[in-house]
Amino acid sequence: MLFVLKKVIGSLLLPLPLLLLMMAGGLLFLWFSRWQKTGKIILSCAWLILMLISLQPVADGLLKPIENRYTTWQGSQKVDYVVVLGGGYTWNPQWAPSSNMLNNSLPRLAEGIRLWRENPGAKMVFTGAATQNNPLSSAEVTSRVAQSLGVPADDIITLSQPRDTRQEAHYVAQVVGNRPFLLVTSASHLPRAMIFFQQQGLHPLPAPANQLAITSPLNLWEKAIPSSLWLSHSDRAIYEALGRWWQAITLPSVEPGKQ
């Protein structure tokens, strides 16, 4: 129950739902009260915020500091495990296997396979429970996609119990023990994930994937015109900020930024 409540409240605090709620409140003031000026202010503020966080310079300006905490893994240290954290997924056997990996999941897997190939003999560890009414877990779907891309089943370990990053760290600890391993997840999620895994006494080597904040040149109109793509980048930055805040409350012994 607490897990569901956390997800619902967290989702409502993300930019689009929160701004839509603000706009709804503004409309209620305009149509059904005498406080029309208040309604106009609320609507204007919500519109302005939505426009700003849908612009590339603002969105990627929010996201870049989080993603830049760790750089792409280019180290020479060999490991026995490559741990790829679960993400968005579905399961439709009629689709191309990789189409079942949604949002951040496929880039995570692609980076995980790249690192697995650089560590002959290593095992790939996939994590993630099943979503509601889905017959397969995130870990199992990732395993099936990995096998379709040439990873042998004998080199895969699936952990289908964990529902969030904190639980993923707990279950991974039972597999890897004290041995160092490569921890693959989205660049924006990695700083928070590292804290959870280190809290378990583990020795993860950070391997970011799915970098989103663009620093290379873009056309002027791509920066100047609001887009749902840039809004999703702002959404990711705010999601991680909320996650770090919740982490600081539930893990008081861990200070954000000290890893």
- Indicate if 101 and 140 belong to the same structural domain: yes
Same domain (yes/no): 195, 88 = yes
One domain, residues 85 and 201: yes
The number of folded domains in the chain is 2
Same domain, 130 and 17: no
Domain containing 55 equals: 2-67+220-250
Residue 214 reports pLDDT greater than 70: yes
255 is a domain residue: no
The pair of three-digit structure tokens given for residue 59, joined into one six-digit string: 């969105």
Same domain, 86 and 205: yes
Residues 63 and 100 in one domain: no
User: In this predicted model, what pLDDT tens digit does every residue of 76-93 receive, in sequence order?
Assistant: 999 999 999 999 999 999
Global pTM reads: 0.90
Specify the DSSP class assigned to residue 101: B
pLDDT 10s digits, 100-152 = 999 999 999 999 999 999 999 999 999 999 988 899 999 999 999 999 999 99
CA proximity to 192, closest of 253, 254, 101, 142: 254
In which band, very low, low, confident or very high, does the pLDDT at 256 lie, cut at 50, 70 and 90?
Answer: very low
Question: Is 170 in the same domain as 246?
Answer: no
Tokens of 138: 């995130």
For residue 258, tell me if it sits in a domain: no
Are 151 and 245 within one domain?
Answer: no
Average pLDDT, the chain: 94
What gap in Å lies between CA 208 and CA 114, rounded to an integer?
12
Task: Say if residues 159 and 119 touch (Cβ distance below 8 Å).
Answer: no
Mean pLDDT over 237-246 rounds to 94
Q: Which residue has the tokens 């995130």?
A: 138
Biggest alpha carbon distance in the chain?
Answer: 71
